[in-house]
Structure 1
Amino acid sequence: MGVTIVGYNGGYGNNQRYNRQWTGGYRDREQERDDKVNRMYNLLSEQMEEREQRKQEIENKKRLEEEKKKDEEEKRAQAIKDREQHEARLGKIVRTSVKAVCESALGRKVDIPEDDEDEVSKLRRELGELRSKNQGETSEQRLEALCKEKDALLKMKEQEGEEERLQREIVELRSKNESVKFASGKQDEFLALQMQVKELGAFRDTLEEKNAEVSALRSENKHLKKDAVTEKNPPLEPAHGNAPSSSAMYTPKDLEALHKAYKAALADKEMALREAEFLKERMASMGAARVRLSTRNTAIRKTTPRNLKTSFKAMEVESDDEMEGKGKEQTNEKDGDIGKDSHDQEVAKMAGFRNARFKEVRQLKKAMEAICTDEGITYIKLEQSKADVAEIRASRDYSAWLKDREHREEEEHNQQYATSNEEVDEE
């Protein structure tokens, strides 16, 4: 009666449940676009830094060259000045020595004219030449400096314009990236919601069929509840209803509600399957217990040992109707007492087995998943799994105890029957 869903297994694989993420891959695309924008921005910033560094290096070189030229000019001027002073000193020395020679040779004082005026005019002329040269050089240097400043300003303006253009491109790319990301995210969310709605519809149909099976099993199990041992009430049937269809747009609250409904549907499906399996096991165990109980009662009624000699002596002559009535009343009373005692004993034994098995699994935590897999049940919650495992193992212990008791009763019956035959033979 089950429906097979091809493709998606409802979040179950190898008896394990997990939550499926509906990302749609748009997060990866968003990350890739952000990485591209960041790489472009880093590349442009590195290029700008390299340009600034090259510009500073060029300016430093030019400054060093100018300083070097200035130092060389100062050295040349100083050398010329030193040479002139040296020549003046040499001329003075030569004049003094010539004057001394002449005076010694002539025996009188000699006046040698000095070249002071010539030296002054010479110095003035040289100063004029130097000034003209300096003025020419300074004008040329100023022109060169102005040209360099103009080129630098033009380069700065070009760089600023390029930076502004790059900033605008980056802003445009980010805006486009955000718009594309928003559109793709909405589309992926819509597709994920559609798939979730389809899966919920399929789960709803499956749960309806399972509920129909459970109701049928409950109706078949009603006639066994009076004669069987009821250990505990089965879990309540989850309420199901047809989900209303709507063509309206989904909001974030609706998405959250759908996600919660999806999880609730999975839990309801699991509970329904467990309940069906539990009821089937109970029906099988109750039917077997009922057959065993009726068999034991019949065997006890048929194999009660009696002493025939004392029975014949104590028997009184009565009518056939009275004897039949008394025999029926005694048989019913004995059967009722025996059935009540055996029923109480079975209830006590089952409770003892359940308590013993629950004590065994009470301290277990990590090993419960392996135990649930060995027992053939699904691990959902720790306490519920412990209760289920204890119930299954207690049922096994109870069945083993019933078989052992039947074996002992058969042996006692055979022994009592043999004893009664020996007494009859002796009498």
Structure 2
Amino acid sequence: MSVSANNPDRTSWLHVSKNSDFPIQNIPFGVFLTRDDIITIGTRIGDTAIDLGALHQLGYFDGIALTDDIFLQDSLNDFIADGRKTWRAVRNRIAEIFDSNNKTLKNNTKHKERILFRLDEIEMQLPVQIGDYTDFYSSIEHATNVGSMFRDPDNALLPNWLHIPVGYHGRSSSIIPSGIPVHRPQGQILPPNSDTPIFSPSKMVDFELEMAFITTDANDLGEPIPIGEAEEYIFGLVMLNDWSARDIQKWEYVPLGPFLAKNFASSISPWIVTLDALEPFRVPGPKPLKKQLPYLQYKGSKSYDIHLEVAIRPKSAKELVVSKTNFKYMYWNMSQQLAHHTINGCPVNSGDMMGSGTISGPTPDSYGSMLELTWKGEKPIILKDGKQRTFIEDFDTVIMRGHCEKDGTRIGFGEISTQLLPVFKK
């Protein structure tokens, strides 16, 4: 089935501003609460949210094999489980309905009142029920920077790093959508020059700029996913701020890896941008520095040219962009991550989320965490109010944005905006 929704010449009868992340070529998917307190699955064109449940009930998806309640749910899991053929048919139909040449819905005032919402009339929800969450460590620049800080700079990468996409299983219950504040975590910390830990709020709360992909039902227990088929099981991507408490992490991560330092919160952008929508922005990835095993070898371009940035906004000052980087820098791509994740037969389900790991580029202004940007706090960032930051302070808001742009077409993710609050107190 062709992806007619991606037609770069198509325009919409809905208003779309020039630099919008959400032109008619995007058609992302999300879940929102309407002005009538009804949760529905929807999409977005420009600054208009579209209720897909109402659109379906009014017959606009006739001819596509969909269950009656497919869009009347509080998560996208069932829709995602229907597979790529269904996703493409629905995106193509939405593009047709809102094409500037199609007057069917445009001229039906009663239907538009049920289907269309201003953004200030809705409240975005978590788009999927995330059963499992895996976080990879796939940026060679980030891994090298961290290894240089805490180990020998000449041996910054551990021996396995160039051979496997390193990852760990995270905690899905604390994944939240943009706009939900996060409390400063607390836990055990080892003070300098001490061999006994203390219990304390983290003094080194950090952001991690990541992307994450959402999967569909992919395989049975014991069945690997071949790398050449991996993209068939990836629905789309969101931006991910995988919050970290560096001082807690330093004490706890040996021998089993991240725990309390990472499971207190992870923030994601609420609109899932499909892999189909990102198709025009494919680019080659970095060349392997060592020959990879056959199950990780792939053909074609598997990376995506996604421009990313991070800003910090203090409580009473303007934001400052502190990092600009790109998803294309990732050494291990999504297909390799999914193939490796399942090579031992691990089953993957609809709504599972897999984070890229911190995305850092080759220059100091493209690093994806405060740990790197300030180099362990040795090089503070000066904000617009003149105050310094080595890590994130209470009431700071961290904002992440991402978009692709090529030949006049811009496809974006919107933003993640999350404020850090003080330690939770009853």
TM-score > 0.5, shorter chain as reference = no
Q: TM-score, normalised by structure 2?
A: 0.17
Q: TM-score, normalised by structure 1?
A: 0.17
Between Structure 1 and Structure 2, the one with more helix by share is: 1
Structure number with larger C-alpha Rg: 1
